[in-house]
Amino acid sequence: MGLSKKTVRDINVQDKRVLVRCDFNVPLEGGEITDDRRITEALPTIQHLVQQGAVVVLASHLGRPKGVTPEFSLRPVAQRLSELLDKDVPLLGDSVGPEVTAAVHAAKPGDVLLLENVRFHAEEEKNDPEYAKQLAALADLYVNDAFGTAHRAHASTEGVAHLLPGAAGFLIEKEIQHLGQVTQDPPRPFVAIMGGAKVKDKIALIDNLLPKVDTLLIGGGMAYTFLKAQGHGIGNSLLDAASVEYAKSLLDEHGAKIVLPTDVVVASELSESAQTQVVPITGITDGMMGADIGPETIGTFRQHILGAGAVLWNGPVGVFEMTPFERGTRGVAEALAESKGVTIVGGGDSAAAVEKFGVADQMTHVSTGGGASLEFLEGKELPGIAALQDKA
């Protein structure tokens, strides 16, 4: 599935000021970037614009600041961009205002500047027309390459696109191409793996994907709601009680497609020092909770993954952040790495998992969008993309 919107290839940017919305919402520890993938994924668009002689003005948010919050400054991002582009990328003191305007107007073709965190202004998330107008006044053209925030109608992701001619960057084009392929015309057999905590968070995704997949593997906290729907005791495992009837109806209607765990790793607590035990799903006793899929289930999931033409993974199958419960998610990640099929990782915790287990570069595509990937896979229109110019 291709993108029906104009991309940076379709616009003449020479000697133009181009406002580029990126997603530089990177994890930080002690002011240091711990994972720069969202920055490196933006480089193809930035480098293309530089080579074509544009003045490149980058905009992004970082975290959830309340007003101007120094710990959420984009300074570490500016430093990393300077290293990666091998040129000075100055961080401006704000995202709008006279000093910002002066700096942008003084820049020469090929220069790259970074605006300070757009969420330092409350008007950003409110999609305030006046703030959008101030951002738009900085540039002649607009490029959205922030797939991770394309599901948000904010001033810098959607508002500006109604004020400047807007096109998609290469990252958005890549995301739509890969996520679109598996939802529209996947190689067969098409296997989806779904994990995460609650069924209710995935209902729209399940409803959109289930008619399209050949097999749906379910793990993570949400599996226990399905096991409960089958009549199993689940002890203290996570239960989405409001979704039990939904799970029951899915199993009645699509049971042949749905693969649930046959064994699980249980513990009395979630901690790094937890004492664990592998039990069949009929053996989860009171006081114990399931926190990972067991070895038999890992083997079953692995078989389905290795036999697939395409695999879509959304959500870890256990509490992989803790060593005692990481084996299932690691097993899924490693099976995807071995797969000869198309492997798509749907952002968020699944992306964090393939990074943690060192196999991200062996996937066909790892999405940079958590919520945006989810909404796209649910079949929803993303406002940040919808507002861009259509191809002729």
Prediction pTM value = 0.90
Compare 243 and 3 and report the one with higher pLDDT: 243
Pair 316, 286: CB distance under 8 Å: no
Return phi, psi of residue 55, to 5°. -90, 120
In this predicted structure, the answer to whether residue 124 has a pLDDT above a threshold of 70 is: yes
The 10 Å Cβ neighbour count of residue 128 is: 16
Instruction: Work out the pLDDT band at 151, boundaries 50, 70, 90.
Output: very high
Q: What are phi and psi of 334, to 5 degrees?
A: -70, -35
**What sign results for the dihedral spanned by CA atoms 157, 161, 165, 170?**
positive
How confident is the model over 21-41, as pLDDT tens digits? 999 999 999 999 998 999 999
Place of tokens 């980058």: 58
pLDDT value of residue 199: 87
Question: One-letter amino acid identity for 2?
Answer: G
Residues 201-211: tens digit of each pLDDT? 889 999 999 99
Tell me the torsion sign for CA atoms 24, 28, 33, 35: negative
Q: What is the pLDDT of residue 101?
A: 98
Residue 97: Cβ within 10 Å count: 11
- Known catalytic residues? 38, 198, 348, 371
pLDDT on residue 3: 78
Per-residue pLDDT at 251: 96
pLDDT value, residue 369: 85
Dist CA 307 CA 221 (whole Å): 25
Q: Does pLDDT of 1 surpass 60?
A: no
Share of the chain above pLDDT 70, in %: 99
The 10s digit of each residue's pLDDT in 234-290 is: 999 999 999 999 999 999 999 999 999 999 999 999 999 999 999 999 999 999 999
Structure letter (DSSP) for residue 232: -
Mean pLDDT of 51-77: 97
Rounded to 10°, the helix 327-338/295-306 angle is 20
Instruction: In whole angstroms, give the CA distance from residue 115 to residue 107.
Output: 13
| pLDDT score at 176 | 93
Please say whether the beta carbons of 136 and 142 come within 8 A. yes
Of 237, 208, 226, give the one whose Cα is nearest residue 318.
237
Stretch among 67-71, 220-224, 261-265, 344-348 having the lowest mean pLDDT: 344-348
Best CA proximity match to 280, nearest among 270, 269, 290: 290
pLDDT at res. 25: 95
Domains and CATH numbers, the chain: 8-173 (3.40.50.1260), 186-377 (3.40.50.1260)
- In one-letter notation, the amino acid at residue 300 is T
Alpha helices in the chain (DSSP H): 37-40, 43-51, 75-85, 98-106, 129-136, 170-184, 203-209, 222-229, 244-254, 295-306, 327-338, 348-356, 371-377, 383-386
- Whether the pLDDT of residue 63 is over 60: the answer is yes
* Six-digit token string for 99: 């000093």
Q: Tell me: the pLDDT tens digits for 303-316?
A: 999 999 999 999 99
Mean pLDDT of 113-139: 98
Q: Say what the pLDDT of residue 138 is.
A: 98
Mean pLDDT of 298-302: 98
> What pLDDT is recorded for position 279?
97
Peptide bond into 189 cis (omega under 30): yes
Tell me the pLDDT band of 2, cut-offs 50, 70 and 90.
Answer: low
For 30, counting Cβ atoms within 10 Å of its Cβ (0-12 exposed, 13-18 middle, 19+ buried), the class is exposed
pLDDT of residue 392: 77
